[in-house]
Structure 1
Amino acid sequence: MHILITGGAGFIGSHLVDLHLARGDKVHVVDDLSTGSQANIAHHQNHPHLRFDEADILVWPNLGRAVGWADRIYNLAAVVGVFRVLAEPTNVLAVNIAACERLLRAAREGGWQPQMVLASSSEVYGHNDEDILQEDQDLVISTRAGTRWNYSVSKIADEALGLSYSQRFGIPAVVSRFFNTVGPRQVGRYGMVVPRFVAQAVRNEPITVFGGGLQTRSFCDVRDTVVALDALATAVGRDTLVANVGNDREISIIDLARLVIERAGSRSQITHMGLREAYGEDFEDIRRRRPNLSRLRDRTGFQHQYSLERTIDDLIVIERARLQEERDGHCTLVRPQSECAA
């Protein structure tokens, strides 16, 4: 199978690269590296079935040729992360919507109908009062989230584009609403909570909880996410479907901080920071975010392989290795290595 992944050097995209190359598929990655990194796919740099282009799909002249080559296209190109969304509110709308539309238009104009797998988000459910979120619920637009809401608006627009192109032009679309994907290669600098907590715990620094900490989330390991996504796309085939993709185990942010401290054996203390201080503007955080996964499970029989504890443990190992590299590098600059070893 020919697989095109926009945003394929990013967190989720790079794990899709791993999955499809391991299966023997040919993979073409297009990424502008604004948040992704070639380091995420560097272990495949000499793979004969991998092609990488550093390009912005909004203006890339070879998009039509790449789309015409692909059997399945994963669109993961987007402005993501709360900090970046707040810092670039206009780019969120322009990039996320225009990139998706250009990709779909290229598929239509080329006369080829590849399967489109469009990355949406649990953010589209907004401040929904339901305890469990399922695909047939109304999507909610609210002003309580400030400019952070631009991300949700962009994903609702992407969903509408995908469903419209499917109905009008017969391009099959799988709309996947991701719920808090976590795991190796995710970075905390754009506001991702788990890698931020792990980095603070490994260094025995205060773990900073934004808001009261009673808000709950459901975290899914990226290695489960990509397996579920592929299984869903395979099962759906030439049909079109909207489905939640994530894990339905729910945990409060304060309990997440405690769990990270426990797994790391850390001396970190938990501190709190108001949302305005953390993000630079006032908004009301979403109270709960737990997916109904019946549609995913009914269509694919998918079962999770990674618990939250296992994911945290893996991230702690990675972060400790990174910390050791930092210390070794600093030590080399300051003193001879023989003195460091002593």
Structure 2
Amino acid sequence: MHILITGGAGFIGSHLVDLHMARGDQVHVVDDLSTGVRANLAAHEDQPNFRFDEADVLTWDQLDRVVGWADRIYHLAAVVGVYRVIAEPTKVLATNIAGCERLLRAARDGGWKPQVVLASSSEVYGHNDEHILHEDQELTVSTRAGTRWGYSVSKIADEALGLSYSQRFGIPAVISRFFNTVGPRQIGRYGMVVPRFVAQAVRNEPITVFGGGAQTRSFCDVRDTVVALDAMATSSGRETHIVNVGNDREISIRDLADLVIQRAGSSSTIKDVALREAYGEDFEDIRRRRPDLSKLRGMTGFEHRFTLEQTIDDLIDVERRKLEGGNDGHCTLVRNQSERAA
């Protein structure tokens, strides 16, 4: 199978590369490296089935050609992370919406209609008071989110584009609403909470909890996420679906901080930080975010392999190896996974 991954040098994208390369697929990655890291792809650089282009999907003149080559496209290129979303609101809209539309237009014009897997987000559910979030409920956009609302707008627009191109031009689309994906290769630089907590705990620094910590999230290991994405795309075939992708275990941010401290055997304390101090502006954070996974499980039979504790332990191991001046911990991580599987 020919696999095109935009944003493939990033956190989720690079794990998709690992999955498809292990299967013997031909994989082409396009990434402008604004947040992605070329080192994430180091294991595949010399493989004949792998190709990388450093390019921006908004302007790259070869996009039509590679879209026409692909059987399946994972479109992950986007501005992500709370810090970047707040700092670059116009780029969020331009990159996330225009980039998605340009890719879908290339798929329409290419004759061959590849399957397109679009990365959406649980942010599209907005400030919703439902106990559990399911795919057929109404989406909301609220200015209570401050500048962050532009990100949810961009993802709702991407979903609308995917559905429109599917209905009008017959391009099969799998719209995947991600719920707080975490795991190896994720960095805390752009506001991702788990790697930030782990880095602070390993160094015995105060764990900075933003916005009170009562808000809850549901964290899914990236190694489970990519398996779920592939399973959903495979089961969908030429049909179009919207599906939640994540883990339905819910935990408050304060309890997450306590769990990281416990797993790391850390002497860190918890320090409360106001949202304005953390991000430079006030906004009302989303209180709950737990997915209904009935559709994903019903269509694919998907089951998670990684618990939150296992993910945290792996990230702690990698962070400690960094402090010791060793490699990135990848070999140890693979060995630990193999031991668990045995």
Partner of 2:3: 3
Q: Quote the offset at 1:111 in angstroms.
A: 1.2
SS of residue in 2 equivalent to 1:244: strand
Partner of 1:237: 237
Partner of 1:334: none
SS of residue in 2 equivalent to 1:127: coil
Q: Aligned runs of 1:143-162 on 2, under 5 Å?
A: 143-162=143-162
Partner of 2:271: 271
SS of residue in 2 equivalent to 1:224: helix
Query: Within 1, Cα distance between the matches of 2:141 and 2:270?
Result: 32
Partner of 1:64: 64
Query: Within 2, Cα distance between the matches of 1:323 and 1:175?
Result: 39
Matched, 1:196 2:196: yes
Partner of 1:340: none
Partner of 2:220: 220
Q: Quote the offset at 1:324 in angstroms.
A: 1.1
Q: Quote the offset at 1:157 in angstroms.
A: 0.2
Query: Within 1, Cα distance between the matches of 2:42 and 2:139?
Result: 39
Q: Quote the offset at 1:43 in angstroms.
A: 1.4
Q: Quote the offset at 1:283 in angstroms.
A: 0.3
Query: Within 2, Cα distance between the matches of 1:311 and 1:172?
Result: 33
Q: Aligned runs of 1:260-339 on 2, under 5 Å?
A: 260-325=260-325
Partner of 1:168: 168
Query: Within 2, Cα distance between the matches of 1:17 and 1:320?
Result: 26
The one-letter amino acid of 1:161's match is L
Matched, 1:89 2:89: yes
User: What is the Cα-based RMSD across aligned positions, in Å?
Assistant: 0.6
Higher CA-based Rg: 1
Deviations 1:113-166 (A, max 9, x none): 000000000000000010100000100010101111100000000000000000
SS of residue in 1 equivalent to 2:285: coil
Deviations 1:65-109 (A, max 9, x none): 000000000000000000000000000001100000000000111
Matched, 1:113 2:113: yes
TM-score, structure 2 length as denominator? 0.95
Partner of 1:207: 207
The one-letter amino acid of 1:40's match is N
TM-score, structure 1 length as denominator? 0.95
Query: Within 1, Cα distance between the matches of 2:109 and 2:48?
Result: 29
Query: Within 1, Cα distance between the matches of 2:277 and 2:196?
Result: 17
Partner of 2:335: none
**Structure 1 gap segments, 5+ residues each:** 327-342
Partner of 1:336: none
Q: Quote the offset at 1:7 in angstroms.
A: 0.2
Partner of 1:255: 255
> Post-superposition, which runs of at least 4 consecutive aligned residues in structure 1 deviate over 4 A?
none
Q: Quote the offset at 1:110 in angstroms.
A: 1.0
Paired residues in the alignment total 326
The one-letter amino acid of 2:87's match is A
Query: Within 2, Cα distance between the matches of 1:193 and 1:70?
Result: 34
Q: Quote the offset at 1:211 in angstroms.
A: 1.0
The one-letter amino acid of 1:192's match is M
Query: Within 2, Cα distance between the matches of 1:159 and 1:54?
Result: 26
SS of residue in 2 equivalent to 1:238: coil
SS of residue in 2 equivalent to 1:285: coil
Structure 1 residues 168-177 or 41-50, which shifts more?
A: 41-50
SS of residue in 1 equivalent to 2:324: helix
Deviations 1:179-199 (A, max 9, x none): 000000000000000000000
Identity, % of aligned positions? 79
Query: Within 1, Cα distance between the matches of 2:126 and 2:57?
Result: 28
SS of residue in 2 equivalent to 1:325: coil
Partner of 1:137: 137
Deviations 1:165-187 (A, max 9, x none): 00000000000000000000000
